[in-house]
Amino acid sequence: MATQDRSALYIELLAALNSGRVELPPDQKAARQLQGLERRTGRSGRDIIDHPPGSHDDLANAIAGAVAIIDQSSYRRVPAITGISMF
């Protein structure tokens, strides 16, 4: 489970996308939700990234959470297995 809030997950996702570490498959609903996210300043002065009122971000949340979990996990450090024949 990811330990960050949605705003932190979205910021990490943006960094992963901009650096080329992550490439998302084409999906109109996901693209619409991600493009619709808004950054605003909360009462505490902290930036909040969220969907506009009346919109949804469930798919965007799932994508951001999955990227954060994979990024934090040991999956990146698993060495490639070579020299194995399947036949």
Each residue of 29-66: pLDDT tens digit?
Answer: 999 999 999 999 988 888 899 999 999 999 999 999 99
Counting the structural domains of the chain, the total is 1
The span from the CA of 18 to the CA of 13, in Å, is 8
What local confidence, expressed as pLDDT, does residue 37 receive? Answer: 94
Residue 85 inside a domain? The answer is no
What local confidence, expressed as pLDDT, does residue 31 receive? Answer: 93
Whole-model pTM: value is 0.74
Residue 57 inside a domain? The answer is yes
Residue 26 inside a domain? The answer is yes
Assess whether pLDDT exceeds 60 at residue 14.
Answer: yes
Report the first-to-last Cα separation within the chain, whole angstroms: 38
Residue 83 inside a domain? The answer is no
Residue 81 inside a domain? The answer is no
The span from the CA of 30 to the CA of 22, in Å, is 14
**Containing domain of residue 49, as a range?**
6-73
